[in-house]
């Protein structure tokens, strides 16, 4: 193992990646109810496409989280100081916000159910239910991502040690991740029957391994990310073309598959759902990495600046946006009392929810992180561009070191 810490190049392109990933999350969440509610409308095909196409969001965040960790820690000496610093940062900027935002959603769900302040259950019962939700990642539908991230953080020092000590493991990391992930999927389907497997990190092990592999071999993939397609070597061109063609085919099949299930009640084994989702999201995560670097290099400056800020706020937006979306959906009756329910108007209402969730979450989280002292305890690490000189415990300023 290397005992010398190597300073890593800052990669601001990763904030562009984060922005594209959070847009994926928002599209899926905004269309979740609409896919079945619109089956009688011609607009169903577009809504179904959006809902399936953008499913890459959370898996891409998972891959990027692994990439960032291994990119920053792989070439540093693995000792008590490094492990202690690692866990301190995750406790402050991931676990603490998770605990507090889970409490916010716990109260919000009681508000929606009409039980808040009614005395329907004792405080001890409420606390026990909150603790159960917290320890199972079920405080709200989107918080499973933070829950599985915490699981990965617990295992990260051991995985880092394994990667640093075994060239064989490093070389075969992606196949090993796929075998272990699918081994668990099959075990759970035919024997274990654990109902919430999506809340377990092993379900996403292939993404963690892809992120680790790309980070460790970043010098080898740098040319693919940094250069235009015409400047790639013949071998790189071949693999780049293969990636894009495979991605397009898999996404097309995945969209068609859900179209048939939702529109024509096609019956399929659950493994088909798992396989198409896994292939789609793995390929998309790698395609997004390429797109993020191209956009950062060749995109309009205003767009890069906008995506960079959204990427910096992606974790906070991820935490907050379901609240905005939940209140927006209460406008359904008001909206369609004024407009005839049709494909165009329904799509406009659905996409209005996405824009509302994006814009309101963006503005609110930026204002909170910029102006409210100690906001990091609820929304995570404050971006360097918004950070005052003294905002609480120190946090990494590099875009590469962002938590999500």
H, E, C per residue of the chain: CCCCCCCCCCCCHHHHHHHHHHHHHHHHHHHCCHHHHCCCCCCHHHHHHHHHHCCCHHHHHHHHHHHHHHHHHCCCCCCHHHHHHHHHHHHHHHHHHHHHHHHHHHHHHHHHHCCCCCCCCCHHHHHHHHHHHHHHCCCCHHHHHHHHHHHHHHHHHHHHHHHHHCHHHHHCHHHHHHHHHHHHHHHHHHHHCCCCHHHCHHHHHHHHHHHHHHHHCHHHHHHHHHCCHHHCCHHHHHHHHHHHHHHHHHHHHHHHHHHHHHHHCCCCCHHHHHHHHHHHHHHHHHHHHHHHHHHHHHCCHHHHHHHHHHHHCHHHHHHHHHHHHHHHHHHHHHHHHHCCCCHHHHHHHHHHHHHHHHHHHHHHHHHHHHHCCCCHHHHCCCCCCCCCCCCCCCCCCCHHHCCC
Please give the structure tokens belonging to residue 72.
């920053």
The span from the CA of 76 to the CA of 78, in Å, is 6
Regions of the chain with pLDDT less than 50 = 1-4, 391-392, 394-401
- Write down the pLDDT at residue 8: 74
Please give the structure tokens belonging to residue 270.
């659950």
Q: Provide the CB-side half-sphere exposure for 149 (13 A, CA).
A: 29
Q: Provide the CB-side half-sphere exposure for 51 (13 A, CA).
A: 23
The span from the CA of 381 to the CA of 271, in Å, is 38
- Write down the pLDDT at residue 301: 95
Identify which of 320, 401, 394 has the alpha carbon closest to the alpha carbon of residue 65. Answer: 401
Asked if 139 and 102 touch (Cβ cutoff 8 Å), the reply is: yes
- Write down the pLDDT at residue 391: 45
Cβ atoms within 10 Å, residue 214: 23
Distances (CA, A) of 346 to 27, 37, 40, 336, 350: 15, 10, 11, 9, 6
- Write down the pLDDT at residue 388: 66
The span from the CA of 352 to the CA of 314, in Å, is 20
Asked if 315 and 381 touch (Cβ cutoff 8 Å), the reply is: yes
The span from the CA of 290 to the CA of 70, in Å, is 19
Q: Provide the CB-side half-sphere exposure for 386 (13 A, CA).
A: 25
**Distance in angstroms between the alpha carbons of the first and the last residue of the chain:** 27
- Write down the pLDDT at residue 390: 52
- Write down the pLDDT at residue 116: 86
């Amino acid at each position: 193992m290397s005992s010398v810490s190597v300073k890593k190049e800052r990669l601001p392109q990763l904030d562009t990646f984060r922005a594209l990933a959070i847009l994926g999350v928002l599209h899926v969440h905004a269309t979740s109810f609409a896919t079945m509610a619109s089956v009688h409308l011609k607009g169903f095909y577009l809504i179904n496409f959006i809902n399936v196409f953008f499913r890459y969001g959370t898996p891409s965040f998972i891959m990027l989280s692994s990439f960032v960790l291994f990119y920053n820690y792989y070439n540093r000496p693995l000792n008590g100081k490094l492990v202690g610093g690692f866990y301190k940062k995750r406790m402050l900027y991931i676990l603490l916000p998770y605990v507090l935002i889970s409490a916010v959603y716990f109260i919000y769900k009681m508000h929606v159910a009409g039980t808040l302040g009614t005395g329907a259950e004792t405080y001890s019962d409420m606390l026990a239910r909150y603790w159960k939700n917290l320890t199972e990642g079920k405080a709200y539908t989107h918080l499973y991502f933070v829950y599985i991230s915490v699981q990965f953080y617990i295992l990260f020092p051991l995985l880092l040690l394994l990667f640093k000590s075994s060239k064989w493991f490093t070389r075969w990391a992606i196949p090993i991740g796929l075998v272990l992930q699918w081994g668990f999927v099959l075990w759970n389907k035919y024997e274990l029957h654990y109902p919430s497997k999506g809340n377990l990190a092993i379900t996403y092990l292939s993404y963690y391994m892809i992120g680790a592999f790309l980070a460790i071999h970043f010098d080898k993939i740098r040319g693919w990310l940094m250069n235009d397609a015409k400047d790639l070597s013949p071998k790189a061109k071949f693999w780049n073309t293969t990636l894009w063609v495979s991605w397009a085919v898999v996404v097309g099949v995945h969209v068609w598959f859900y179209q048939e299930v939702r529109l024509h009640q096609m019956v399929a084994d659950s493994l088909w759902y798992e396989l198409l989702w896994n292939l789609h999201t793995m390929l998309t995560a790698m395609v997004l990495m390429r797109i993020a670097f191209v956009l950062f290099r060749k995109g309009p400056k205003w767009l890069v600046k906008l995506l960079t800020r959204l990427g910096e706020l992606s974790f906070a937006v991820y935490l907050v946006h379901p609240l905005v979306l939940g209140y927006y959906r209460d406008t359904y009756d008001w909206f369609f009392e004024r407009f005839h329910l049709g494909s165009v108007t329904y799509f406009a209402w659905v996409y209005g929810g996405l824009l509302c969730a994006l814009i309101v979450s963006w503005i609110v989280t930026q204002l909170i992180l910029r102006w409210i002292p100690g906001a990091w305890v609820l929304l995570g690490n404050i971006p360097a561009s918004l950070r005052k000189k003294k905002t609480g415990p120190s946090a990494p300023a590099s875009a590469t070191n962002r938590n999500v």
